Structure formats: structure tokens, C-alpha cells
Chain A
């Protein structure tokens, strides 16, 4: 039994093939047949013991869920030390991303920095330059907020056309967590920041020295110096023990292993805000300081990695939507490539700069669909088509591609990433 179960569980692709080939009849009800042995026969798990407590002091997902893991695209980057991988959004539901499968992006590898070795410096235009230990940070008043983090390059490979076949790869540079930390304003006030200063420069402790300039207005608004995510310590790959949280703004600003905050009167114009994270337009000029992540959504199931395996009948179409400008107020879904739209159901009212889950509970007749979703946020902004984006920006922007995505769902239930007219 063990080998059988294992094969089924770990070979998701083979399983999908089998059920697709059977045309969904495996799940067909109402046929006269002998009782299901899973019911009529006593199963091992109903007779013997399972694992005792403490079998896994820190639990991992059960082995049948081995599909819900981060994956990377090796050809994207020169090597995995300075690279990115993708959240398995096709296999997740709800809104909170578990830390263990939330995408990673490092510029010089994920470093191991212990709390006793941690120091945070605030210097520059302040009354009193300060150094905080990790323990110091835990003594300031704390806040809890759920925010999405999206890499500015998410969907960036799709500018020129449909390229990667899976929601994980086209839209997986995103995660959504509940953060616990201290408001940056509190720390700036502790150091006595100069109110005439227009900028801060924030920097990480790893060898890449990743650093970004942030306008003081944002720094005083909702930025958090966070040390917990989803209730537990940050993971090493997300900046343990302390990272910056910059709600609604591109992930590169969310400095991991945060070690220094400098109050300045001008932006530093660091590598990551000049040579990278700037958006080249058709005429060769480039936008800079494009921090906000505009409203965006994607259908996560069905999708290429999550085909329909049950045949015609009731079908749950689901996906997620988010906006760096605030709350998602509405998501529309089209099954015909954008000719007609129906408004989906939001699982919960949209939350400020956090993921919103949407569902369209529908009846599938087994014919092909060109599935799309479009998000609308509280400012009235409507997620654009790729054609609209290209008209304004051309093909070379790389970053900030928030276009409407199309999945071609075939009568077999399989889905493919396509572009439509």
C-alpha cells in the first residue's frame, strides 16, 4: 500500500493524465457497482496507530502535497545565489501565504544572521544617531498588519508574449503575510529625525548591500520594521531576524536583514533604483521611482498547473487580486477572452494593500474557455489589458506588468497560457 499511495501522491502529473484520459468518469456517480472498498473494507488507518505527538516538533506539509513548493526558472538568472523563485499560487487558497512556500529573491544568497548579532543603525539627519539591538526593537509598541509583497518583475517575462506555462511562473513573485513589528515612524522619532529631510535610505546586512531610497512621506505613513510573519519569526530567506515592510510598494524596497536607516535630503540613486527597477519606455527614456504596485489579479484555478479533472458540472473558478493603492472592491471574470464579464464573489471584503480571494461558482458545460480576471480597486482603477499597457509603455518595461492574464481551458480540462486578440 505504501508504494501505491506514494506513487499516486507524488506523481501529480501522472494522476492528472490518468483522470483526464478517463474523461472524468472516475468521479462519475450513480453507476451501479460494488461498494467502495475504502468504505466497505477496514482500512489500515482505521485500525492501527498514526504518528505520536512530537513525531515532527515543527510540522511540514503531508507528503501528498509535494506539489505546493517554490520553483525557479533556471534560465532567468546567471546563478541561484542572485536569483528568484516562485510561490505555488496554483496550489494555494485563501489569502495568507505560508512562509515555507513564499517566494524568495536574494542578491547575494540568504544569510544566517542571529538575533544577538543583529544591529539596526539610524543615522544621517537625526538629533541622535542610534543603534538598536533586536531586544530593543521588541520593547517598542507593536503593530499587526496583513500586506502583499509583489516583486516589480512579477509577470515581467510576459511583456513580449505568453511565455511561461503556469500561474506559479507568470504570477508567483508574490506573497501575503501578517506582519508584526514596530512602525518606522516610531523609530525615526526616537532618533529625532530632521523634519526638513525628504528621504530615507534603507540598507540590508547581506553582501549585496541592497539599498533603496524611500520618500520620507511614505516612511512616516505605513512602513513597518517587522520581525514576525504569520505569527512566527521571519524565515531566513525572508530576512530573519528583521525586514522592512513597505505596504503596496515593489518588493525590492522591502529590505531584508535590515541594518541601517539613513535620513537624507536626496535619493542615493543606488544600483537598484537606477540600473534596475526602472522601466524603459518605447522611445528609450525610462521611468524611475515607480514604487506603487497597481491593481492586478489572476485566476489560480483552473490554470495550467491546476487543470479541471472532474469533467462538466459544478466548477469553482478562483483567483486572487491585490492593489498597492488600497482595497480591492471588485473582480470580474470572463470565460470568453474578454467579450463578456461576470462579477465574481469576494471571499471577504477587500483589505488595504492585501490579497483578496475571489470565487466564481459556476457550471461548466465542457466547452473551451478563455478565462480572464480583472481587478478594480478603491480608486476606481481597472486592471488593464496587455494591449493597453503596451500602447503606453512599449515592450521593454520589464517591470510592473499588471495586465489581464488569459488561460485557454480546453474541453479536456487542461489549461494553457495564451495571449488573445
Chain B
């Protein structure tokens, strides 16, 4: 009801000052159905608005976290490699290198619940039940020593949990602390005495080297080389290994597969020097024994499988990992298109040298 005068005002104002008159409302769009709003209107606010019914315990959360989150965030939410640390950092915010975790920094618990619910696990978002999300949130609180091991988080007690850093934020104060001082006529001559170089970027030497230069072989750092392990040329050359699968090798399909494989690279490396990352290295995986890479901590299901990665098994796994192997740690939801699965398989067949 409040809208009509407002709209009218806008129409009059824009007719006076702007060019074309806006004649609204336009009667465009259609009414959003309740089930549509329910499907998308998932955000949760600090006062608990948006939370669904449900609950989850620290104990359940520990297992769910281990299965779905620990491959990046660590078993204790401590964060692996460059992946976010979710626990620790208490009292470090004023240090030289503050450790900003859920416990040390995030002001509201609703943010954790909301983010886990809508955006995690990475690569398989919106696959967790409300109870799972309550349990994971409870476990993250426990990892930060904010609740005891018998704690159960639910919609009912959610807003009773106060985060340690809730009072640690101030609204943007630049107008007072900065603009007021920096809106002055600047100095033009004799602005300072001696000018000396106090730091040089080349001393640190962290700038990436040129890698776009196709005329020369790539000579990037080891880390870069790992991430970009397989040039297309290599994929296009059939590998001279006496594997029957190579008889029907299709270089174009493999090249297409290399593109699809970019989705996998976040967690998997291929190539002769491939290392285990979040997932095991996939060098020469076709024909390899399932769960056989040294130094990788497989799920029980994968470690005890004992089978061989045939093209058929790989295709079934890529289509729906959790269905093909109940209990796998791989959080990726699967490739929806058969053509993508075929392409990735062909690509993986090509990276055997």
C-alpha cells in the first residue's frame, strides 16, 4: 500500500529532471509462488530469522565434518594449506598476523550456519540437511572451545550462543577518521627532505613469471607448474604404452576433457610429477588399482575397494561419486553430462607419461 505515492513521486521527479518519462508500474514479471520463495529465500540473520527447524550435536558434527569438510579445513577445523582456518586464533586480532577464524573473528553464529547451508561443501553446495548444518556448526563451535562436547545446537537455543568477537566491529568511520584530514590542498614543492627507497618488490621475488609466452617452454616455478601440469599438446599425443584402452584414443575428445578437468584441478593433479592435494594424484589412473596411491588418506570405502579403475567404473564414479562409492570423501557432486564424463576419461587416459 505504501508503494503508490512513492511511485507517483518518482514518476513526476523523473519526468521533470530526466529524459524519457518512466510510466510504472509496468505489469512485467509474475508473482513468485510460495514454494519458489521458500526454495531461494534461505538467508539467515543474526536474530535467527530464516533458521529452519532442526538440531545437531557436536558428536554427530565431528563425523559429518570429517566426511564433508576436513579434506580442506582439517579434522580439527585448523585449515589445510591455503584453505580457511575455522578454529583457533583467539586473541590474535591485534597481532602482526591476525588469525581470523569463526571463533576469533566472526561476529555472529548465523553467518556460519548460513554459509555452510548455502555454500558448502565446496563443489557440492546445498547438499546438507538442516540437521547436518546444525551439527557441523556445533562442531565448529566445539573446535573453538566455545561449547562442551555434549552440546546440541538447535533452532531453539541458537540465539543463546554469543560469539566472542561480536563487539569487535565498528561501522565505517572513514568520514571522521580520514576524509576530514585528507580533504586539504596538497603540497606541490619542497614537500619532503631526503627521499630514500626503503623496500623493493624484487627482493621478495614473489611476482609470477611470464607464462603466456608460447614461443618458449614454460619455465614457471614448481608450484605453478604443478597447477598447470599438462599442456594441450601432450594430451593430443597418444601415449605409446601397450594399454588396450589406447587403441580407440580420441585426441579431440581428450582436449575437450582437459577443459572439463579444470573443475577437478582444485583437488587433483595429473602428470608425471603429480602430487596428492586435497584429493589423490590421478596420474595414469585408468587401469590403476582403486585407493592405491601412497601417502593419501583414503576413506574406508575407497581404501577397501580393491577393484580397478576401468573406464566403466570411472564413468560411474564421475557421474555420481557418493552413489558409486558410498562413504567416499570426495565432496564433488558429479558430472551431469555423459559427454563430459567421456571427455574427462579420455583426457585421463592421455596423461600417462
Chain B residue numbers with a CB within 8 Å of A165 are 201-202, 207
**Cβ-defined partner of B182 (8 Å) among A132, A290, A381:** A381
Chain A residues with Cβ under 8 A from B43's Cβ?
Answer: 201, 203, 211, 262, 268, 270
Q: Tell me the nearest residue of chain A to B184, going by C-beta.
A: A382
Using a CB–CB cutoff of 8 Å, the interface residues on chain A facing chain B are: 6-7, 10-13, 66-67, 69, 71-75, 77-82, 107-109, 121-124, 127-133, 136, 139-141, 161-166, 169, 185-186, 189-196, 201, 203, 207-209, 211, 259-260, 262, 264, 266-271, 274-275, 278, 280, 282-292, 294, 304, 332, 336-341, 370, 374, 376, 379-382, 384, 388, 392, 395-396, 408, 416-421
- Across the interface, which residues of B come within 8 angstroms of A260, CB to CB? 40-41
Nearest CB in chain B to that of A194: its residue = B2
B169 touching A123, Cβ below 8 Å = no
Provide the bound-state CA to CA distance between A238 and B193, in Å: 46
Judged by a CB distance under 8 angstroms, whether B241 is at the interface is no
Complex Cα spacing A284 to B231, Å: 46
B57 within 8 A of A: no
Residue from the set B2, B179, B208, B263 with the largest chain A CB neighbour count within 10 Å:
B208
The reply on B242 being an interface residue by CB < 8 A is no
Choose one: B25, B110, B168, B266; the contact of A79 (CB below 8 Å).
Answer: B266
B199 and A161 form a contact (CB under 8 A): yes
Overall SS of chain B's interface: loop
Q: Which residue of B lies closest to A380 (CB)?
A: B183
Q: Considering only CB atoms, which chain B residue lies closest to A120 in the complex?
A: B29
Least distance between A378 CB and chain B CB atoms (Å)? 11
Are A209's CB and B36's CB within 8 A?
no
Q: Which residues of the other chain, B, contact A421 by a CB distance below 8 angstroms?
A: 192, 194-198
Asked, given contacts A163-B201, A285-B168, A289-B172, whether A275 binds B125 with beta carbons under 8 Å apart, the answer is no
Report yes or no: B3 in contact with A195, Cβ–Cβ below 8 A: yes
Question: A132: which of B29, B37, B97 is its contact (CB, 8 Å)?
Answer: B29
Tally inter-chain residue pairs, CB-CB below 8 A.
Answer: 301
How distant is the Cα of A133 from the Cα of B50 in the complex, in angstroms?
26
Q: How far is the CA of A207 from the CA of B125 in the complex (A)?
A: 6
A341 to B108, CA, bound (A): 47
- Do the beta carbons of B83 and A271 come within 8 Å of each other? no
Verify A287–B170 contact, CB threshold 8 A: yes
A129 engages B31 (CB within 8 Å): yes
List, in ascending order, chain A residues with CB within 8 A of B150's CB: none
The interface residues of chain B lying within 8 Å CB-to-CB of A192 are 2-4, 7, 25
Please name the residue on chain A nearest to B101 by beta carbon.
A275
Q: Are A163 and B204 touching (Cβ within 8 A)?
A: yes
Q: A108-B119, A190-B28, A420-B195 are in contact. Are A340 and B7 (CB under 8 A)?
A: no
**Residues in A neighbouring B125, C-beta threshold 8 A:** 108, 207-209
B45/A164 in contact, CB under 8 A: no
A-B contact pairs, 15 of them (CB 8 A): A78-B82, A79-B265, A82-B122, A129-B31, A131-B36, A141-B20, A192-B25, A208-B125, A266-B47, A268-B43, A282-B94, A338-B192, A384-B178, A420-B198, A421-B195
Given contacts A274-B107, A421-B196, contact A268 B32 (CB under 8 A): no
Chain B residue numbers with a CB within 8 Å of A408 are 197, 200
* CB pair B212 A339 closer than 8 Å: no
Chain B residues closer than 8 Å to A109, beta-carbon distance: 263
Does B192 contact A130, Cβ atoms closer than 8 Å? Answer: no
A413 CB → nearest B CB, Å: 16
> With A75-B206, A164-B206, A165-B202 in contact, do A130 and B212 touch (Cβ < 8 Å)?
no
With a CB–CB cut-off of 8 A, which chain A residues contact B172?
Answer: 287-292
B94 touches A284 (CB 8 A): yes
Q: Does B303 contact A (CB under 8 A)?
A: no
> Of the candidates B110, B111, B187, B200, which one forms a contact with A418 in the assembled complex, judged by CB atoms under 8 Å apart?
B200
Determine the chain B residues whose CB is within 8 A of the CB of A336 once the complex forms.
Answer: 195
Q: Which residues of A contact B187 (CB under 8 A)?
A: 341
| Contact B213–A10 (Cβ < 8 Å) | yes
Is the CB–CB distance between A268 and B45 below 8 Å? yes
Are A189 and B188 in touch, CB under 8 angstroms?
no
Chain A residue with Cβ nearest B224: A74
Contact among A123, A203, A382, A419 for B183, CB-based, below 8 A: A382
Complex-state Cα separation, A163 to B202, whole angstroms = 8
Q: Which residues of A contact B227 (CB under 8 A)?
A: 74, 80
Task: Say yes or no for B129: interface residue by CB 8 A criterion.
Answer: no
A286, B169: Cβ atoms closer than 8 Å: yes
Interface residues on B, range: 35 or more
A419:B3 contact, CB within 8 angstroms: no
Task: Say yes or no for B132: interface residue by CB 8 A criterion.
Answer: no
Q: Give min CB distance, A69 to chain B, whole Å.
A: 6
Residues in chain B near residue A121, CB distance under 8 A: 32, 36-37, 40
**Contact B207 A164, beta carbon cutoff 8 Å:** yes
A195 touches B2 (CB 8 A): yes
| Chain B residues, CB < 8 A from A80 | 227, 262, 265-266
Contact A274 B108 (CB under 8 A): yes
- Given A79-B266, A162-B200, A418-B200, 20 extra CB contacts under 8 A: A11-B215, A66-B214, A73-B207, A108-B122, A133-B29, A140-B26, A165-B202, A186-B24, A189-B6, A190-B29, A266-B47, A271-B114, A271-B115, A286-B93, A339-B193, A379-B179, A379-B183, A388-B182, A416-B201, A418-B198
C-alpha gap A185/B13 in the complex (Å): 13
Within 8 Å CB of A269, what residues of B? 45-46, 107-108, 110-111
Chain A residue nearest to B5 in the complex (CB) = A195
What residues on A are CB-neighbors of B186 within 8 Å?
332, 341, 374, 376, 382
- Contact of B177 with A by CB under 8 A: yes
Instruction: Specify the chain B residue showing the minimal Cβ separation from A8.
Output: B215
CA distance A194 to B214 in the complex (A): 57
Task: List CB contacts (< 8 Å) of B55-104 with chain A.
Answer: 72, 81-83, 93-94, 96-98, 100, 102
CA distance A77 to B122 in the complex (A): 14
- Hey, which chain A residues are within 8 Å of B139, CB to CB? none
Among B24, B191, B195, B212, the residue within 8 A (CB) of A69 is: B212
Collect the chain A residues with CB atoms within 8 Å of residue B122's CB.
Answer: 81-82, 108
List of B residues within 8 angstroms of A338 by Cβ: 191-192, 195
- CB < 8 Å: which of B83, B183, B204, B215 contacts A7? B215
CA distance A333 to B183 in the complex (A): 18
Find out whether the CB atom of A392 lies under 8 angstroms from the CB atom of B178: yes
CB of A381 to closest CB in B, whole Å: 5
Contact at B22–A141, with CB atoms within 8 Å? Answer: yes
Q: Mark B114-136, 1 if CB is under 8 A from A, else 0.
A: 11001100110110000000000
Interface residues of B in 283-308 (CB under 8 A from A): none
B243: chain A residues at CB < 8 Å are none
Instruction: Tell me whether B247 is interfacial, beta carbon within 8 Å.
Output: no
Inter-chain contacts of B216 with A (CB < 8 A)? 11
The 7 closest A-B pairs by CB, nearest first: A284-B93, A192-B3, A284-B94, A337-B195, A78-B82, A417-B201, A79-B266
CB of A129 within 8 A of CB of B32, answer yes
**Bound: A5/B196 CA distance, A:** 42
CB-based nearest B residue for A294 = B174
- Tell me the complex Cα distance, A408–B3, Å: 58
A residues within 8 A CB of B261? none
